[in-house]
Amino acid sequence: MRTADIKPTRSELLAVKRRIQLSNRAYTLLKRKQDGLMLELVRVIGELKRLHYELATRYDVSQRLIAVAYMMEGATGVAIAAESIEQIPTIERSLKHILGVGVPVYHEQGVKKNLDERGYCILGTDSVIDDVAGAFEDLITSVIRAAASQTELRLILAEFVRTRRRVRALEYRLIPDLIEQRNYIQLRRDEMDREEASRLFHIKKVKVERDHVRR
Length of the chain: 215
115 has pLDDT over 70:
no
Domain assignment present for residue 3? The answer is no
Domain assignment present for residue 163? The answer is yes
Domain assignment present for residue 201? The answer is yes
Domain assignment present for residue 2? The answer is no
Mean pLDDT, rounded, for 6-21: 88
Domain assignment present for residue 155? The answer is yes
120 has pLDDT over 60:
no
Number of domains within the chain? 1
Which DSSP string do the residues of 20-58 spell out, in sequence order?
HHHHHHHHHHHHHHHHHHHHHHHHHHHHHHHHHHHHHHH
Mean pLDDT computed over every residue of the chain? 84
Domain assignment present for residue 190? The answer is yes
Decide if 105 contacts 96 (C-beta within 8 A).
yes
Q: Which domain holds residue 47?
A: 9-214
Domain assignment present for residue 210? The answer is yes
Question: What's the CA gap between 21 and 134, in Å, rounded?
Answer: 60
Split at pLDDT 50, 70, 90, the class of 176 is very high
Predicted pLDDT at 163 = 95
- What is the residue type of 182? R
Domain assignment present for residue 154? The answer is yes
Q: What is the CATH number of the domain that holds 201?
A: 1.10.287.3240
pLDDT per position as a tens digit, 59-68: 999 999 888 8
Q: Provide the terminal-to-terminal Cα distance of the chain, rounded to the nearest Å.
A: 55
What are φ and ψ of residue 2, in 5° steps?
A: -90, 100
pLDDT per position as a tens digit, 144-155: 999 999 999 999
Predicted pLDDT at 146 = 93
184 has pLDDT over 70:
yes
